[in-house]
Structure formats: structure tokens, C-alpha cells
Amino acid sequence: MPTVKEVIQSRKSSIKYAKQTTEILATLELRINQIEKIRQKLLRHPKSSSNLIEQLNQLILPKLLDLIIQEKQAWEKLWKRFSRETINIGVAGRARQGKSTFLQNVCGLSDEHIPASNRMACTSVQSNIYHST
């Protein structure tokens, strides 16, 4: 089972790819916006042939632009998530089923930091554990 430190380290290897993909999509968005402006000018130009206008009308750039923006937003979200130095772990279950022991193993902490007990419930409320070096 990987520890929190290992998970964060493995996420870091994906930061560069997510950032590059976000930047490529931002450039593509900019270029398509530029092409759309030119397309609109050509559609209004009095000397544009009917064939050209027909071909330009077949381009569905706004729909393509929407898809690119959605994709860019998804990659930005990944980039931000991979850049975080923290992870959130949610654990729920009945008493004395190993939730605290699981968290100890994942976080690399001891019973002193995350108490596990065979007596009363000791983590029956939200517990926030912060790592600092």
C-alpha cells in the first residue's frame, strides 16, 4: 500500500504533462478564436464567392471552441490537483473495523498520532491530520 508521501511524489511526475497540455489547449483556443474572426469577416465581405460562403458556413468553430475550453478546464483541474502538496482521504465504517490502522499505514504515523483502540471509538469525528517538515 503506497504512503501519502509516495502518492504525492507520483503525482508530481504528471504535473509537467498536465501543464503542457493545458498550454497547448490555450494556444489552440486562441488560434481558433482568430480563425473565427477571419471567418466572420469573410462571410460579410462583399466579394466572397457563394462557394466560399457555403464552405465557411460548414465550419462549426464555436462548437469546437467549446469542446477545447472544456478540455482545457479539465486539464487545468488536473494540473492544480497534481501540484498540491496534500491529499484528502475519506474513511468511513463501523467501529473497530481498522479505519485508524489503515490511516496509520497510509500516512506512516503511529498510534500516538492516529489513535487506534479496541475500547471506545477514538476517531468517530472528522480528524484532520497535517504533515509538516
CA distance 53 to 42: 8
Q: How confident is residue 127, by pLDDT bands cut at 50, 70 and 90?
A: low
The model carries a pTM of: 0.64
Distance CA 9, CA 12 (A): 5
Residue corresponding to grid cell 498520532: 113
The DSSP 8-state label assigned to residue 68 in this structure reads H
The pLDDT tens digits for 69-126 are 999 999 999 999 888 887 777 788 787 788 888 888 877 777 777 777 666 665 566 6
Name which of 102, 95, 91 is nearest 122 in CA terms. Answer: 95
Residue type present at position 11: R
